[in-house]
Amino acid sequence: MKANSVLRSAGQGGRFPAPGFILLLMTLLSGCIVLATATGAVQIPYALVTKILLNRLPFVDFSGWEKAHEIIIMTIRLPRVLLAVLVGGGLAISGATLQALFRNPMADPGVIGVSSGAALSAVIAITSGLSFHHYLILPFSAFLGALGTLFLVYAIATRQGRTPMATLLLSGIAVGIFMGSILSLILTRVPSIETFREIFFWLMGGLDGRGWRHLQIAAWPILIGSTALSFFSRDLNLLILEGEGGAAALGMEVRSVQRMLLVLASLVIGASVAFSGTIPFVGLIVPHVVRLMIGPDHRYLLIASFLAGGSLLVGADLLARTLVASEELPLGTLTSLIGVPFFLYLLNRDGRHVL
């Protein structure tokens, strides 16, 4: 009975009904995919894009378009757009999970240093030459870096079984600065311009040159990890509303749940960073905005965050490759331009409650 009342309490406070809002986000994401796939150096009509995409479904047989348009859509643009959906959604659902786990709306993969750890590990794999031996070494290295950094920050911030939020954020900032220092040191020792460009990609973030092979590799860990996180929605509700002590009194194995959430979040973050570089603030902005819209019930919040994060990154990537003619802007820079003002607003509004 107590657990049911907790779930009912978690569902309060939103401005819109959660199921309807999720349906709206699904529609928005579908529209963003069509818009981003149609827009580029060669503009393709939206109706034609829709026909080409639907033509891949069973029992659908459209025709009457130029082969060049289909190649542009299916070979160049669509895998990049779908990867943006996965990366944005993965970062957003991981951010929502970490915010509940640490009971702090300002926690996200970037703020607590996890993205920096994943990027550093991936860069080490590149500079050492390990990433050239097998295509799975790079994402696996990023996963290990994310996992190790998250556990490091959590261990530093934990004292006598408690994790103060101020200590957590300060630990994340310190670890992030440390990772950045190592990256700077690596940059001074890079032997070739090609390797330097690869490292620069990790620092700035982007999806340039990503295709079906990258999508196929990234899809499994991101989708499996995100799906597994959604099964912990009840536990996250208990943690954020009752705290560790209250959740344990209701029968939760708190330490086991926390460790599993850390591993799953690191899996998703590591896979995302491995193929996009560092994309800051998506995991901070999206869960917070979605929470304002539908409330803190993670049965809906996690799904909605994934959909909203995917839409945001598809839109940001579209701006990155079309805002300046014949030049692609760093994707991470655009998300930072959006995220930093929002972070300062959140800090000014909620800082006295969380620090």
Question: Quick check: 175 and 153 in contact, CB under 8 A?
Answer: yes
pLDDT on residue 344: 78
CA 191 – CA 128 distance, rounded (Å): 11
CA 324 – CA 304 distance, rounded (Å): 31
Long-range interactions of 27-34: CB distance < 8 A, separation 24+: 28/307, 28/308, 28/311, 29/85, 29/307, 29/310, 29/311, 29/314, 32/310, 32/311, 32/314, 32/315, 32/318, 33/81, 33/82, 33/85, 33/314
pLDDT on residue 133: 77
String of DSSP letters for 185-247: HHHTT--SHHHHHHHHHHHH---TT--HHHHHHHHHHHHHHHHHHHTTHHHHHHHHHHHHHHH
CA 155 – CA 143 distance, rounded (Å): 18
CA 107 – CA 103 distance, rounded (Å): 8
Q: In angstroms, what CA-CA distances link 55 with 47, 60, 74, 167, 193?
A: 12, 5, 11, 53, 43
Q: What residue spans define the domains of the chain?
A: 2-6+20-354
* 281: nearest Cα among 332, 235, 231, 349: 332
pLDDT on residue 310: 96
248: which 2 tokens?
Answer: 């344990």
Tell me, which fold does domain 2-6+20-354 have in CATH? ABC transporter involved in vitamin B12 uptake, BtuC (1.10.3470)
What is the CA 294 to chain-centroid distance, rounded?
20
pLDDT on residue 145: 86
Local structure of 1: helix, strand or coil:
coil
Which residues are bridge partners to 159 per DSSP? 162
CA 283 – CA 304 distance, rounded (Å): 13
pLDDT on residue 169: 73
243: which 2 tokens?
Answer: 């705290």
CA 109 – CA 99 distance, rounded (Å): 10
Tens digit of pLDDT per residue, the chain (355 long)? 454 454 455 555 567 889 999 999 999 999 999 999 999 888 888 988 888 888 877 777 777 778 888 888 988 899 999 999 999 999 999 999 988 887 877 778 777 788 888 888 888 888 887 877 776 787 788 878 888 888 888 888 888 777 676 687 788 889 988 988 888 888 888 877 777 777 777 678 888 878 888 898 889 999 999 999 999 999 999 988 877 778 788 788 887 888 889 889 888 988 888 888 888 889 988 998 999 899 989 999 999 999 999 999 999 999 998 888 777 888 988 888 887 887 777 667 655 444 4
pLDDT on residue 254: 81
pLDDT on residue 88: 96
pLDDT on residue 354: 45
Which residues are bridge partners to 107 per DSSP? none
Local structure of 75: helix, strand or coil:
helix
pLDDT on residue 37: 94
pLDDT on residue 189: 80
Q: In angstroms, what CA-CA distances link 174 with 95, 117, 161, 273?
A: 19, 12, 21, 20
Query: Checking phi first, is residue 150 left (phi over 0); if not, alpha (psi -120 to 50) or beta?
Result: alpha
Q: In angstroms, what CA-CA distances link 141 with 125, 223, 266, 274?
A: 7, 18, 11, 8
25: which 2 tokens?
Answer: 């986000």
pLDDT on residue 6: 47
